[in-house]
Structures are given as structure tokens and as C-alpha cells.
Amino acid sequence: MNTEALRELVEEIPDFPEPGILFRDITPILSTPPALRAVVEHMADAVNRHAPDGIVAIESRGFLLGSALALHMHLPLLLVRKPGKLPRPTRRASYELEYGEDALEVHVDDVRPGHRYAVVDDLIATGGTCLASIELLRQHNADVAVAAFLIELSTLGGRHRLDTPVASVLLYN
């Protein structure tokens, strides 16, 4: 399935979850097997070029694509989660939201120092979520080979906040 067909499956929901946000709903892709396969193959092609040692998936829609990608690429899968979800010792990075602040955590002993990871999420907007994930990995002396997304909202400039290569399947202006 080509990228134009994938784009047609992404639903645009105005004013969700709050007024002024145009939410990009990827669930029609998840419920269309050839579409999900195409997404994984497009992302794997882009990620493979950077030869990462593992996939780091960001909660929560990043888990869906990250786990499929890790399976497809035969790579270890690590989770970056919202605070209080991971049961073993964690490290935390905080980041700014439009209103207020949030944080992400990773299991300390899941991250291998010296490894280069592909960070995966469904969408990059301002880049804050991905930036916090990159910071977490670097706190463990690991690094990021590439940040990979299904969707990039290019007008929000997220990719310019990251000092890593960025790969996205669908670009929206």
C-alpha cells in the first residue's frame, strides 16, 4: 500500500481531546492489515539505514508501532512510559506541555550503555515527547540512531528540536 492510500486512512478529528487540536486518528490503519503491514515496512526501511541496536517505543500509540517494528526487525523492544507505570527502578525526564509539564520514565537496567536506539512514536508535533525520550536514553549513556514516526506535523517544527536523524512516513503541513 502506498503512502497516499495510507494518508486517506488517517482520520482528522477537530477539537479532540480539547478545542483547537486537530487529532490524527491512526486506528483505521490498525484495523486494516495491509495498511499496518505497509506502515511497518516503510518505517523499517527508514530505520534500518541507521542500524539501531534496539527499538524504544513511547507510550502509548508508540507501543503499537514500536512492537510491530521490533518484531519485524528482530530487535529488542524497550518501553518509555508515563510516571508510575514501570515496576522496576526507573529514571525520569520531564518535559513541557502546552499547559504544564509531564514526565516519562524508563527501566534503568533495560537501557544498554553504548547502544544506539531507534525511538518510535505514532506522531511528532512539537517534538517535546521525543526530546524527553532522547534525554532519558542519554542519561544512561546510550544514544539515538534515529527518531521514527508514522506522522510528522511539519509546521510545528518538531524535527528541528531534535539533533538526531528524523524519519516520518506521512508529512502534514
Which residues form the catalytic set?
A: 61, 98
- Region label for 32, one of left (φ > 0), alpha (ψ between -120 and 50) or beta (otherwise): beta
Q: Which of residues 147-166 bind ligand AMP (CB under 6 A)?
A: 158
Q: At what angle do helices 33-48 and 61-73 cross, to 10 degrees?
A: 70
Out of 39, 93, 104, 125, the only residue in the binding site for ligand AMP (CB under 6 A) is 125
CB of 51 or CB of 171, closer to ligand AMP: 171
**Given the rule CB under 6 A, which of 21-29, 46-54, 108-116, 139-147 is the region that contacts ligand AMP?**
21-29
Select the residue interacting with ligand AMP from 5, 22, 71, 108 (CB under 6 A). 22
Q: How far is the CB of 32 from ligand AMP (least distance, A)?
A: 18
* Contact between 134 and ligand AMP per CB under 6 A: no
Give ∠ CA 161-49-112 in degrees, rounded to 5: 70
Q: Which is nearer to ligand AMP, 66 or 128 (CB)?
A: 128
- Write down the residue that cell numbers 490524527 correspond to: 24
66 counts as binding ligand AMP under rule CB under 6 A = no
Using rule CB under 6 A, residue 122 touches ligand AMP: yes
57 touching ligand AMP, by CB under 6 A: no
List, in order, residues 6 or more apart from 35 with CB less than 8 Å away: 1, 5, 6, 9, 28, 29
Give how far Cα 100 sits from Cα of 50, 94, 96, 97, 103, Å.
34, 11, 6, 5, 11
Burial class (CB in 10 A: 0-12, 13-18, 19+), 16: exposed
Considering only 32, 126, 139, 154, the residue that binds ligand AMP (CB under 6 A) is: 126
Residues that bind ligand AMP (CB under 6 A): 21-24, 58, 61, 121-129, 158
